Amino acid sequence: MPDVGEGLTEAEILKWYVQPGDTVTDGQVVCEVETAKAAVELPIPFDGTVHALLFEEGTTVDVGQVIISVRTGPAGEEAAPVQEAAPAVAAPAVVAAAVVAAAALAAAEEPAPEGRQPVLVGYGVSTASTKRRPRKAAAAGAAAQNGTATPVAPELPAVPAQPNGTERPLAKPPVRKLAKDLGIDLAAVVPTGDGGVVTREDVHAAAAAAITPQAAAPAQATVAAATAPAPAPASVQAPAAETAARETRIPVKGVRKVTAQAMVGSAFTAPHVTEFITFDVTRTMKLVQELKEDPDLAGLRINPLLLIAKAVLVAIRRNPDVNASWDEAAQEIVLKHYVNLGIAAATPRGLIVPNIKDAHAKTLGELSTALSGLVATARDGKTSPADMQQGTITITNVGVFGVDTGTPILNPGESAILAVGAIKLQPWVHKGKVKPRQVTTLALSFDHRLIDGELGSRFLADIAAVLEHPRRLITWS
């Protein structure tokens, strides 16, 4: 599992595109994984034949773990029986050793071109020089492939000794989190990972061992009850079955997990203020219809959200101080001279907020194209982590669900978020008379450390003013 950056430590395998026996080439996409940021397609950095898929779809894997075995030697050589050696789940170290050995052999037989290392497409060339501890599994696997018994790395014990009380157990952050959630002391866990690293399996084994003694007494009682002359009536047992069927537990992971964490962090870090404004958008709705019929905009998606986004950009130009972020470490306000406009998008994997880079510099047509592409990419689950970084201000359109308004929570690191309510025909006083008009409500939440009440009110009022009289898109630009 490659490190795709952003400090991510694990990813879930969503779909395999290859099977054992398939031929793969350098750069070919072999699987799709979901990180805490987005779904990402992973290309293979080798030419060869797939030996084994070491994890099933739906499995969450730590960064750095081997997920696929590929034979990279000449086509005529007999493939090593990786799958027959041991099941992937039961003995991943054996398979990992074979994979590392195969890669080492291929590198020895066919030297790689200078200046280029096979890496993930789109993530650049790896230049890390971090040295890792020698692994016995890799050394043994390479020796076996070469037909020799000479170790290529210092030999480590097959089962590392349990760390004493003065040493900090070696484990990756996700494993530490798992141990904390299960109430397991890592110092009391016997590590089986390479170099004395505690693995997920070690933590689960420790948890199971702790539960077993407690479960012994109930188990004995169950056996005694089973040998009793008369079993309990079915009517007595029914409520338990019914209770189980009344609840479903859904693991929180991937995008939903990071969204939940981000919202909690944002809600309890940035002091939120939310203001509302209700106004007449009849003229804007008429302009939308006229633009749809304009031959100069043929083929572009024209909708109210497009003009709302343009109104936000105009209002930012008139109130540039709203486009900022808070630097906690330096205790500084960072004014942004660009607008990366976020658009909240509901996807099957959860809510994501990709943003349009440099939206302030785009024409109406360019903004329409960017909006359409952003939404289509999000719905297909292809939004990249880069598309969701460095946003400055976000729009969330709750009106598409028939909702009048809401109090949105800031996207972390941003100064404000605008919730757009449903546009409805309502009685409205227009030119001294009550008439049916198209009316909507906007709700603006902002970080009160960055934006005070006056600035927030002016900004929201300017957005409404542009949408109430859309000619201001020209006169205020």
**pLDDT reported for residue 74:** 62
d(CA 254, CA 34): 6
Q: Tell me the β-bridge partners of 13.
A: 33
**pLDDT reported for residue 138:** 44
**pLDDT reported for residue 112:** 41
**pLDDT reported for residue 257:** 78
**pLDDT reported for residue 114:** 43
- Quickly tell me which residue has 């939308």 as its tokens: 288
d(CA 349, CA 274): 28
**pLDDT reported for residue 167:** 63
**pLDDT reported for residue 188:** 83
**pLDDT reported for residue 300:** 94
**pLDDT reported for residue 5:** 59
**pLDDT reported for residue 37:** 62
d(CA 137, CA 93): 6
**pLDDT reported for residue 316:** 98
Verdict on whether the full-model pTM lies above 0.85: no
**pLDDT reported for residue 242:** 53
- Long-range (24+ apart) CB contacts under 8 A made by 421-425 are 422/398, 423/281, 423/285, 423/304, 423/399
**pLDDT reported for residue 26:** 87
Residue by residue, pLDDT tens for the chain (477 residues) are: 887 655 567 888 888 999 999 999 988 999 988 876 677 888 888 899 998 999 988 888 888 889 999 998 765 454 444 443 333 343 343 334 344 434 433 443 444 444 434 433 333 334 444 444 444 444 444 444 444 443 434 443 444 444 444 467 888 877 887 877 777 888 888 888 887 888 888 888 887 776 544 444 444 444 444 444 544 444 445 454 455 578 888 888 777 777 788 888 888 888 999 999 999 999 999 999 999 999 999 999 999 999 999 999 999 999 999 999 999 889 899 999 999 999 998 887 778 899 999 999 999 999 999 999 998 888 888 888 888 889 999 999 999 999 999 999 999 899 999 999 999 999 999 999 999 999 999 999 999 999 999 999 999 999 999 999 999 999 998
Cα angle: 33, vertex 35, 40; to 5 degrees: 45
Domains of the chain: 10-124+133-146 (2.40.50.100), 170-208 (4.10.320.10), 255-475 (3.30.559.10)
Positions annotated as catalytic residues are: 448
Secondary structure in 3-state letters for the chain: CCCCCCCCCEEEEEEECCCCCCEECCCCEEEEEECCCCEEEEECCCCEEEEEECCCCCCEEECCCCCEEEECCCCCCCCCCHHHHCCCCCCHHHHHHHHHHHHHHHHHHCCCCCCCCCCCCCCCCCCCCCCCCCCHHHHHHHHHHHCCCCCCCCCCCCCCCCCCCCCCCEECHHHHHHHHHHCCCHHHCCCCCHHHEECHHHHHHHHHHHHHHHHHHHHHHHHHHHCCCCCCCHHHHHHHHHHHHCCCCCCCCHHHHHHHHHHHHHHCCCCEEEEEEEEECHHHHHHHHHHHCCHHHCCCCCCHHHHHHHHHHHHHHHCHHHCEEEECCCCEEEECCCCCEEECEEECCEEECCEECCHHHCCHHHHHHHHHHHHHHHHCCCCCHHHHCCCCEEEEEHHHHCCCCCCCCCCCCCCEEEEECCCEEEEEEECCEEEEEEEEEEEEEEECCCCCHHHHHHHHHHHHHHHHCCCHHHHCC
